[in-house]
Amino acid sequence: MTVDHSTPTWRRSSFSSATEGTNCVELAHAGRVVAVRDSKNTAGPVITLSAASLARLIDTIAG
């Protein structure tokens, strides 16, 4: 699936701060998937996940 990553509205966690904002990812709705990118490298690679896969990933990370 090809997703245009230049046009979505990217969002960063409200927990990100100016001093600690370097360890963040940004999320954007991209049609039927959620796009995820590194906030430090916005021109870099983007992964896309279904909403269900993103929820499982977050649950796994949160432990």
Residues 1-51 pLDDT 10s: 555 655 788 998 776 666 665 678 899 988 889 999 988 888 899 999 999
Give dist(CA 32, CA 17) in Å, integer. 29
pLDDT of residue 5: 54
pLDDT of residue 20: 60
Distance from the first to the final alpha carbon of the chain: 30
With cut-offs at 50, 70 and 90, classify the pLDDT of residue 54: very high
User: Tokens in use for 35?
Assistant: 């796009």
User: Is 50 inside a domain boundary?
Assistant: yes
User: Is 6 inside a domain boundary?
Assistant: no
Number of domains into which the chain is organized: 1
Give dist(CA 61, CA 18) in Å, integer. 23
User: Is 2 inside a domain boundary?
Assistant: no
User: Is 39 inside a domain boundary?
Assistant: yes
Residues 39, 56, 15, 19, CA torsion sign: negative
Q: Residue 30's domain spans which residues?
A: 11-62
pLDDT of residue 48: 94
pLDDT of residue 35: 92
User: Is 57 inside a domain boundary?
Assistant: yes
